Each structure stands twice: as structure tokens, then as C-alpha cells.
Amino acid sequence: MRLDIGFDNDDMRHVRIDREPERAPQREALQKEPLVEPGPLDRRIQELKERAVGSHYPNIPRRHYEHRQTPEISRTPGERHVRPRHHLQPGLSGLRLHQEEKILLGEVGRFRVITVKDAAQTLYKGDERALRSDLRFLRKTDLVSVDIVNARRDGRGRSIERIEVITLTRAGERQAKMSNTFPPDQKLYHGLVKPREAEHDAQIYRAYKKEWERIEKQGGSNPRVQLDFELKSQVQRAVHAARKAEPERDLLEIKQQVAAAHELPVVDGRIQIPDARIEYDLDEGSRTGHSDIEVVTAAYHPGHLRAKAQAGFRVYVSGRDAATLTAKIEGEHHLLDHILAL
């Protein structure tokens, strides 16, 4: 049986034409939808595009200072004045940096790692708010990294202290070289290499500040810092070259010769290398000198401490490690005479 609903072919054609505009948006929406989920490469490309959009220096918010007529920098905590950002002359890379930021990059580069606390106290005169503002800018320009690491335990109890540390990126190392004037052979570092040793390595900077204060009072100037990374590399290359040239030669004799060439002591047949060496000028550059510093911790055994003392290093220890270390060398009180407080 045929059902007649009262429409001829022309009417049906008109109905389909009238309904077409309603379906068109649906087809367009379907065409816009991706057929498959974006893969890792698509997501990485999108991430790089978003990062590139926000990587222009002028678009990064900076800390603002009230403009004053006097150009001096206030050194009282909580109130600091520097020239506004638009008054600063661009560096070699076109990036405008405050003087404190330039010094911060240079100091972190020389010592590889510095704690936020030490940077605030020594470089920003206790103004931690200004430091953190600068760190936000330096992180957004990919010049520094700020990481939180665990402090060592070493018998300090079960609680774990968290420490904020600053390191340079590869770009930050290049910027530090452009923004500061270093001796030609001053080596800079970037990256957090050993997080477990970050607390100890950061204390080297604190020991340097104390030692350099003493050296300056004696007329020292133009400091140059060598970390143990650099000293060890020089010594190992020299020993290897000597052994290769004279395979039959006594190893201890080679060590003594290499140590003498680098002005390092030999104790119990081992070349003693400090955590850092500070080289400096005396008498307006007519003479030079150096001071070797070592930061000891609660993990040091009496034998290690004895070797460092015999080497003539300037030995420093933090207050948190001093009590445990003192208990370990209770029977050798003379070693305490060689330990300085950080």
C-alpha cells in the first residue's frame, strides 16, 4: 500500500534545500575537529611556539622603583633605589640588567652554586625581596635556575632541611662573561651537577667571602677563584702526561713533582686539593699570592681533617656541623685550632 503525504518531488527538493543551512555548521565543526589526538611532536611544536611568544625581553614584567632626583642606591634593607629599567644602557646582548644582577651572575658563575639566602645577605645587603624580583626576571630570560635541594643529614636528626640554590644556565654563563670583567683565566660554570653536594658546594662561597675579607685587609686585590674541579683536572692531566712520557718512573716522585708545580702539598702519598683556591695581587700587582680554603662537614673523619690541616688549608665549618665534628675529634683537640667558623 502506498502512503501519500501530500508532497510532490519539487516540494521535497525545496525541503532538503531549506534544511541544508542547518546542517552546514555541523559539517564545518566536524571538519575543524582533528581526526586523531596530537602526538608528542605536535605538542612539542606548540610548546615551543608558546615559549617563543613569551621570550621577548621587553614583555617581561620588571620590578619598578620610585623615581628620585638622587642617583644613589639606598643600602638600607627594604628600601633600594636604582635607575629605572628604561634608563639602563643595554649590554652586549641587548639585555638591560641592574648592577646587582650582573654581579649575581658573575658570582654564581665563579662558584657554580650559591644559596638564595647567601646571595641576599652578601650581594643584596639583606634585601631578599629585591633579590627574588631579580631572580624572577633572570629565570624568565633563561639566565639562571633556582632549585630546592635537600640538606645533608650527617647525624643532624631525621628532619630534612630544604635549601634554595641558584645556578647559571648555559645562556647565563655567556651573559655573565659579557656583563662582568674577569681575569682572562677565570673559569665560569653552569648547571647543578651534584644536587646531593649542593649544600657543601654552596658553603664554599660563604667561606670565600670570609677569607677574602681577611685578604683584602692585608692588601690583596683582583681575586681569581679556582674550584677543585679545575685544580683536579690540571693535576690529573699533568700526572698522566708525566707517566706517559716516563712509564718506568716512580709514581710518588711524579706526584711530588706535579704537586710542587701547582703549589699543592702531598700528605700520605696523596696530592691534597682544596675546595677552592683564591689567587690575588699584592703591592699593586708586583707580587701575587694565593689562599687554599676547605669546607669540612660532619661527614669528615678525623683522618680527613688531619690531612687538610697538615696541608695548610684554611679550614671552615658551619655551625650546624661544628658540634658533630668536634665530638669526632674529641681526642685530638689540636685539630680544633685549624678550624674556622662560617
Task: Give 179-235 pLDDT, tens digit per residue.
Answer: 999 998 999 999 998 898 999 999 999 999 999 999 999 999 999 999 999 999 999
**Distance between start and end Cα atoms, the chain:** 105
In-domain check, residue 171: yes
Q: Above 90 in pLDDT, residue 33?
A: no
> If you average pLDDT over residues 66-80, what whole number do you get?
38
Reading the block at residue 201, the C-alpha cell is 658546594
Q: Which percentage of the chain shows pLDDT scores above 90?
A: 54
Mean pLDDT for 113-133 is 96
Counting every residue written for the chain, the total comes to 342
The domain total for the chain is 2
How far apart (Å, rounded) are the C-alpha atoms in residues 291 and 209?
12
Going by pLDDT thresholds of 50, 70 and 90, the confidence category of residue 13 is: very low
Q: 259 and 300 share a domain?
A: yes
Statement: residue 31 has pLDDT above 60: no
Say which residue, 244 or 308, is predicted with more confidence. 244
Band (308; pLDDT cuts 50, 70, 90): confident
Distance CA 322, CA 295 (A): 11
Is the C-alpha dihedral spanning 265, 271, 275, 281 positive or negative? positive
Cell readout for 99 is 648592577
Q: What is the DSSP letter of 77?
A: T
Query: Kind and range of the H or E element at 128?
Result: helix 128-140
pTM of the model: 0.72
Q: Is residue 4 part of a domain?
A: no
In a shared domain, residues 221 and 183: no
pLDDT of 153 strictly over 50: yes
Distance CA 202, CA 115 (A): 6
Mean pLDDT of 37-44: 74
The reply to whether 142 and 248 lie within a common domain is: no
Chain mean pLDDT for the chain? 80
Distance CA 192, CA 196 (A): 10
The full 3-state SS of 261-278, as one line of letters, equals HCCCCEECCEECCCCEEE
For residue 74, tell me if it sits in a domain.
Answer: no
Q: From residue 150, give the alpha-carbon distance in Å to each of 128, 162, 196.
A: 21, 5, 7
Residues 274 and 309 both lie in one domain: yes
**Lowest mean pLDDT segment, chosen from 20-29, 146-155, 239-248, 321-330:** 20-29
143 located within any domain: yes
Q: Which comes out higher in pLDDT, residue 194 or 89?
A: 194
Statement: residue 151 has pLDDT above 80: yes
Q: What confidence category does residue 91 fall into, taking pLDDT thresholds of 50, 70 and 90?
A: low
CA–CA dist 54, 38 (Å, integer): 23
Q: Is the pLDDT of residue 65 over 50?
A: no
Q: How confident is the model at residue 332 (pLDDT cuts 50, 70, 90)?
A: low
Residue from 112, 271, 123, 103 nearest 200 by CA = 112
Of the candidates 342, 322, 113, the one whose C-alpha atom is nearest the C-alpha of residue 227 is 113
- The CATH number given to whatever domain includes residue 99 is 1.10.10.10
Q: What is the pLDDT of residue 305?
A: 84
Beta-strand ranges (E) seen in 172-313 are: 221-227, 266-267, 270-271, 276-282, 287-296
Domain boundary among 193, 227, 246: 193
**Residue 146: helix, strand or coil by DSSP?**
strand
Is 255 found in the same domain as 183?
no
DSSP state of 191: S
CA dihedral 295, 297, 301, 303 (to 10 degrees): 10
Residues 265 and 233 in one domain: yes
Q: Which residue type sits at 255?
A: K
Whether residues 166 and 223 share a domain: the answer is no
Report, as an integer, the average pLDDT of 301-313.
86
Are 228 and 321 part of one and the same domain?
A: yes
C-alpha distances (whole Å) from 77 to each of 81, 104, 172 are 11, 18, 27
Containing domain of residue 333, as a range?
Answer: 215-341
Q: CA-to-CA distance for 305 and 321, rounded, in angstroms?
A: 13
pLDDT of residue 3: 46
